[in-house]
Structure 1
């Protein structure tokens, strides 16, 4: 998140709209959403497309593969995180943009915009944890499936350079949605470990790794069953670069 904010500030301090004449024939933008890569690393890649509908409106979508960001070490009492054998994810979003013609000097896709949006993401994870026993350390896999579908409203600014290159910043996008989490144990637990302790381990590990995604866990519900379903608020921030044609 710090890298995303610093890069956004640099773009804002540099970006200015050009006074050159507009080219209304370029109504398409393909782009790379850099935010998942900045947060989770090169295993995440999301691409998008924007279609200009008029001087003040456009529609856009993003889709791609995402990975859950993981901390390099985790210790809770006597147990410790060993490794991750599965870290897959999918992200999809769509928005309908209204460019503020009263504020912007040029027409879409350049300038300030507001937009309602839909966002869906899923993480399919499996982690191994080491539990100490009288016979040594036993490793147990805990699989976790995280799903979220949210809707909200965003405020952003898209810079267009030389009529071709774009930098799109979504400053803030408050949203509300449904978050579900389901976990399962791969193999047998050591005799001295209960299912509730295993669920708590998985929850704490994920919260330590990326609290912004999983802070909707209901601790009591999840610790008893390995499942949680809740409604809650979140925020969307995006930095993406594109090519206009």
Structure 2
């Protein structure tokens, strides 16, 4: 909740800063030849949600004509640091590995009747596609008895593939500063969670450990408590589902 409030505060601040300088921008009567057609940007919202040291994604947008552009984004991602998970059988010791990557793209149609400026400034709609992969290895303590404990290792692989449509607005202020807001981005997503563990466990113990792995994903990943609400791992340690997805992003960048 604190991260969401911080993100909302950042968005409001950026909008307030941008209001006084809109009039400085290139109007539709200016030369298309001299308009800036490139933007390099940073995913501010992802970093605010997952952690600035965990989510480092940059993007590039290229305007292809007076009303359209495409963009690509990519970078390293990782799940946020988690609080301790403890059950009557298992205790989360530490992270051994925590990394991943994100790659996405969209194609934007800037609405000529709604915009006074050349793209990349203005209101846009368009399709988007995204792929995320998270890898996490954890060490657990398995409690067999009050004085008998065993260390176990789990390997978690989480993949998300999404497609959808978006509505957004990008401001170009002070002639160079790009503030890109993807405000509405509904879509459909395929979720594939794989969890493997070492050690000799009974089926009941393995089920408890897999439940703890599920908690690791749903604990801090927005929306996963809904996606996996009625799902459980199968015998091979896999949990897959398809569900409605959503994209909302705040980018900050440099136009040139």
Higher mean alpha-carbon deviation, 172-181 vs 16-25, is at: 16-25
Aligned partners of 2:130 and 2:163 also within 8 Å: yes
Q: How does 1:1-245 map to 2 (within 5 A)?
A: 1-2=3-4, 3-16=6-19, 18-20=22-24, 22=26, 24-41=34-51, 42-134=53-145, 135-185=147-197, 187-189=198-200, 194-213=205-224, 215-217=226-228, 219-222=230-233, 224-245=235-256
When the two structures are aligned, how many residues end up with a matched partner?
Answer: 244
* Contact 1:90/1:121, CA 8 A, preserved across alignment: yes
TM-score (norm 1): 0.90
Q: Hey, what's the Cα distance between the residues in 2 that align with 1:189 and 1:35?
A: 42
Cα separation, partners in 2 of 1:169 and 1:85, compared to 1, 3 Å:
same
1:75-133 deviation digits (Å, cap 9, x = unpaired):
23353221111111110110001112222221201121112100111001111222222
Cα offset for 1:237? 1.3
Q: Tell me, yes or no, if the aligned pair for 1:199 and 1:224 is still in contact at 8 Å.
A: no
CA RMSD of the aligned region, Å?
2.2
Once the two structures are overlaid, the 10-residue window that deviates more, 193-202 or 175-184, is: 193-202
The 2-side partners of 1:19 and 1:113 are apart by 20
TM-score, scaled relative to structure 2: 0.86
Give 5+ residue unaligned stretches, structure 2. none
Q: CA deviation at 1:31?
A: 0.9
Displacement after TM superposition at 1:71 (Å): 2.0
Q: CA deviation at 1:220?
A: 4.9
